Amino acid sequence: MPVMINDDRLQFHLHGRNVSYIFHVMENGQLGQLYFGKKLRNRADFSHLSKKEARVASSYIEDDPSFSLDLIKQEYPGYGTSDYREPAFQIEQPDGSRISNFTYRSYERMKGKPELPDLPGTYVEDEDEAETLVIHLEDAYTKLSLALMYTVYHDRNVIVRSAYFKNHGDLTQEIKRAHSTSVDLPDADYEMLQLSGSWSRERHVHERRLTPGVQSIQSTRGTSSSQHNPFLALKRPMTTEHTGEVYGFSLVYSGNFSAQVEVDHYHTSRVTMGINPFDFSWKLNGGEHFQTPEVVMAYSNEGLNELSRTYHELYRSRLARGMWRDAERPVLINNWEATYFDFDEEKLLNIAEKAKETGVELFVLDDGWFGKRNDDRTSLGDWFVDSAKLPNGLPSLVRQVNDLGMMFGLWFEPEMISKESELYRKHPEWVIQVPGRSHSVGRHQLVLDFSNPEVVDYIYERMAELLNESNIEYVKWDMNRYMTEVGSLQLNSEQQAEVPHRYILGVYDLYERLIAAFPHVLFESCASGGARFDPGMLYYAPQGWTSDDTDAIERLSIQYGTSMVYPLSSMGAHVSAVPNHQVKRVTTLDTRANVAYFGAFGYELDVTKMSDEELHQMKQQIDWYKENRSLLQYGTFYRLLSPFQNGGNETSWMVVSEDQKKAIVGYYQILAEPNPGFKRLLLHGLNPEQEYCVSGYEGTYFGDELMSAGLQLSSGYDGSQTGGLEESGDYSSQVFVLTKSGQLTDRGEKS
């Protein structure tokens, strides 16, 4: 059993494949932490893992100077008695006190994992996959109960945690903070890795050495944001992609979050993660409850790649849902960068027809098809087709695209409203706003009040009608501005700080209703590119638009960082035109595809303007991708060379099939080097005993050779004007296919 309990000592040992998590009930009735890390054998008593020791100048409980909460590793600590560190929660009571004392009452264990009400979460398909332990605690004074829920998967290296408060009294209590997890690691010899950036450069890898005090990332923007992803890892300084110890913390949530590590004066590192307590509070009336989102805590002692693999496998198969979860994702063409707002039916059909000839499977109509949306100043909220652009209506366009043999996809921005819209004229009160204050706009638009169920109902009806009247099989759900002047006219003054969380619950509710009503639709989440690319979204939309930046070279960093947590099947990756619209860079069609192959592949350019030669090349790319798609979307991914290290001139990654008979390697060079040194790429994840053919190479190589001696890259450099551009020029790239010896087909060859 993955949960082992010592009933006499009240010690709880959760263990997964290679991870143990141990805690106990302390003498004051609260929960203390004993261990989180590499799997330990079970034993009768683990209390020796927490050595108490009195220290000068600490506050302590009653007569025991060694029992100071400031010196003890705790499970879900509060503030106000003898611990001065960042607490996991805080509750303000009617008498003004903010002190709580949650003590142990009982535990419950169950097979599998229960769903979190109204929130996204990981799940099981077979109840023997995992076991859940719920610890019930109570604060007798406030009559609040607290249930801490832990799930451990038998064969994975994760512990999933969340917290649930319930008010059993009559008085209203106010939750000021309620994190999802708190972990006290016994030393501070770590580097904190975070995925940070901005619009068009999301999820770049940043690392910093822990130092005393609080180091944190957060979002106050209403979405998880492109500034910081709700993820952090703590790695040992010597940990690499392939070796060493690392802990991951990933929050399954799409709104304001905070993630932080506090290093205290005894070098303990306290990690807390959950809904951002800044500008948050939640009224809990008698009988009401509050459920936090969940955090997936992962452990690896085989480096970052192994940590990522743990997240990829879990999120791909036990967070993403629905019929698209395991299905090969269609190759799509999106008209956004091809036309922006300037299109009509004929233009769209011309694009669709040409794209179909090259093998594209899904045509996506992006922004601009509704209301009077000829630019980004108007019409959000008016989800009625623009008959000036599409006089025959949407069903007719969809039919014509279907008649070409393609699926049809449609863009929405359900959470937004333009001031210049019918909807705003009718319902100005449906906007997130603070009475008496002006509205800031972002991209000329305002945010709908999704904390108001009436608004969510209305948008559901509009979307459902459109999805019912045409054969729409894909929806791109966009969200293009952060929140400001946060307030709701339908909530009372005491609940205004609840708006951001209630808003996200409204978004989840709309998603849930749509996926239930239209289970065949593939949803792709988007927020100005990747400003809400988080595990919460993955529960509803199995893929996301990774970034508005479609430049192949920029994408190396973005996709590399994103892959720390998110599987390739979740990353929308498109080939776009050159000069690239975001950075004006010119790269070859080959390099653009060689980067985009490692994701949910598509095109976003005007195919009607491509030359015959380019169209031919595009067709070859699509044929090749389809042949290798299941491996590229669902294979085991390894990062080999980082764009964030060693000057960042090279990036490399690879995917390996489950049976290790096939692998695909991508290698990318940013700037050319004259007369370069010899380069060997050390591959990973292969079967050492297996003999492989490598496309473009003579003879065969054993897996152990490729992993230990490496694949020698040909530089293509001859110092002359001709030759070698693909392998050695600026922005050059190569893709190698490895197949079990004797299995290499002509079509499989690619370099």
- So which residues are the catalytic ones? 478, 548
- Is the CB of 208 or the CB of 443 nearer to ligand DGJ? 443
| CB 466, min distance to ligand DGJ, A | 17
Binding positions for ligand DGJ, 692-721, rule CB under 6 A: none
- Is the CB of 480 or the CB of 715 nearer to ligand DGJ? 480
CA 462 to chain CA mean position, Å: 28
Buried b (16+ CB within 10 A) or exposed e, 450-489: bbbeebbebbbebbeebbeebebbbbbbbbbbbbbebbbe
| CB 226, min distance to ligand DGJ, A | 10
The answer to the question of whether 478 is labelled as a binding residue is: yes
The answer to the question of whether 513 is labelled as a binding residue is: no
Cβ contacts of 283 within 8 Å, gap of 6 or more: 172, 173, 174, 494, 495, 498
Tokens of 130: 């995992």
Contact with ligand DGJ (CB under 6 A): which of 86, 264, 366, 449?
A: 366
- Is the CB of 307 or the CB of 596 nearer to ligand DGJ? 596
Rounded Cα gap, residues 301 and 521, in angstroms: 39
Q: How many residues bind ligand DGJ (CB under 6 A)?
A: 11
511 neighbors 254 (Cβ within 8 angstroms): no
707 neighbors 684 (Cβ within 8 angstroms): yes
Cβ contacts of 487 within 8 Å, gap of 6 or more: 432, 433, 434, 435, 496, 499
Contact with ligand DGJ (CB under 6 A): which of 226, 418, 480, 559?
A: 480
At CA 92, angle to CA 275 and CA 160, rounded to 5? 30
- Is the CB of 231 or the CB of 411 nearer to ligand DGJ? 411
| DSSP-derived secondary structure for 522-567 | EEEE-BTTBTT-SHHHHTT-SEEE--S---HHHHHHHHHHHTTTS-
The SS3 assignment for 298 reads strand
CA 266 to chain CA mean position, Å: 33
- Is the CB of 389 or the CB of 684 nearer to ligand DGJ? 389
Q: Which stretch binds ligand DGJ (CB under 6 A): 351-359, 452-460, 487-495, 526-534?
A: 526-534
- Is the CB of 574 or the CB of 740 nearer to ligand DGJ? 574
- Is the CB of 337 or the CB of 361 nearer to ligand DGJ? 337
Torsion, Cα of 320, 234, 556, 527 (10° steps): 50
- Give the residue closest to ligand DGJ by C-beta: 367
The answer to the question of whether 366 is labelled as a binding residue is: yes
| CB 725, min distance to ligand DGJ, A | 31
246 neighbors 236 (Cβ within 8 angstroms): yes
- Is the CB of 370 or the CB of 545 nearer to ligand DGJ? 545
Contact with ligand DGJ (CB under 6 A): which of 526, 537, 575, 656?
A: 526
Mask for 411-430, x = binds ligand DGJ (CB under 6 A): x-------------------
| CB 531, min distance to ligand DGJ, A | 8
- Is the CB of 319 or the CB of 365 nearer to ligand DGJ? 365
- Is the CB of 294 or the CB of 548 nearer to ligand DGJ? 548
Angle between helices 345-358 and 393-403 (to 10 degrees): 20
User: Helix count (H) and strand count (E) of the chain?
Assistant: 13, 38
Nearest to 559 by CA among 603, 600, 605, 602: 600
Rounded Cα gap, residues 737 and 340, in angstroms: 36
What one-letter code names the amino acid at 702? F
Rounded Cα gap, residues 55 and 48, in angstroms: 18
Contact with ligand DGJ (CB under 6 A): which of 545, 634, 653, 731?
A: 545
Buried b (16+ CB within 10 A) or exposed e, 374-405: eebbbbbbbbebbeebbeeebeebbebbeebe
**Any contact of residue 548 with ligand DGJ (CB under 6 A)?**
yes
| CB 204, min distance to ligand DGJ, A | 18
Contact with ligand DGJ (CB under 6 A): which of 249, 257, 336, 412?
A: 336
The SS3 assignment for 326 reads coil
| DSSP-derived secondary structure for 84-118 | -S--SEEEE-TTS------EEEEEEEEES-PPPTT
The answer to the question of whether 548 is labelled as a binding residue is: yes
Q: How far apart are the first and last CA of the chain?
A: 48
Tokens of 295: 């955090």
Q: Which stretch binds ligand DGJ (CB under 6 A): 29-37, 462-470, 521-529, 551-559?
A: 521-529
**Any contact of residue 478 with ligand DGJ (CB under 6 A)?**
yes
311 neighbors 565 (Cβ within 8 angstroms): yes
691 neighbors 670 (Cβ within 8 angstroms): no
Mask for 582-621, x = binds ligand DGJ (CB under 6 A): ----------------------------------------
Nearest to 530 by CA among 119, 195, 120, 193: 195
The answer to the question of whether 476 is labelled as a binding residue is: yes
| CB 434, min distance to ligand DGJ, A | 26
| CB 568, min distance to ligand DGJ, A | 19
DSSP 723: S
| CB 364, min distance to ligand DGJ, A | 9
Contact with ligand DGJ (CB under 6 A): which of 121, 230, 506, 529?
A: 529
The answer to the question of whether 270 is labelled as a binding residue is: no
DSSP 615: H
Q: Which stretch binds ligand DGJ (CB under 6 A): 32-40, 87-95, 525-533, 578-586?
A: 525-533
**Any contact of residue 528 with ligand DGJ (CB under 6 A)?**
yes
- Is the CB of 376 or the CB of 485 nearer to ligand DGJ? 376
At CA 640, angle to CA 639 and CA 641, rounded to 5? 110
| CB 334, min distance to ligand DGJ, A | 7
The answer to the question of whether 526 is labelled as a binding residue is: yes
Q: Which stretch binds ligand DGJ (CB under 6 A): 22-30, 121-129, 304-312, 522-530?
A: 522-530
Mask for 277-316, x = binds ligand DGJ (CB under 6 A): ----------------------------------------
Mask for 382-411, x = binds ligand DGJ (CB under 6 A): -----------------------------x
The answer to the question of whether 477 is labelled as a binding residue is: yes
Residue with tokens 């652009």: 389
| CB 577, min distance to ligand DGJ, A | 14
Q: Which stretch binds ligand DGJ (CB under 6 A): 305-313, 523-531, 591-599, 721-729?
A: 523-531
Contact with ligand DGJ (CB under 6 A): which of 294, 367, 534, 590?
A: 367
10 Å CB burial of residue 180 (0-12, 13-18, 19+) is buried
The answer to the question of whether 367 is labelled as a binding residue is: yes
Tokens of 268: 């303990």
| CB 411, min distance to ligand DGJ, A | 6
Q: Which residues bind ligand DGJ (CB under 6 A)?
A: 336, 366-367, 411, 478, 480, 526, 528-529, 545, 548
Annotated binding site for substrate: 199, 366-367, 443, 476-480, 526, 548
Annotated binding site: 199, 366-367, 443, 476-480, 526, 548
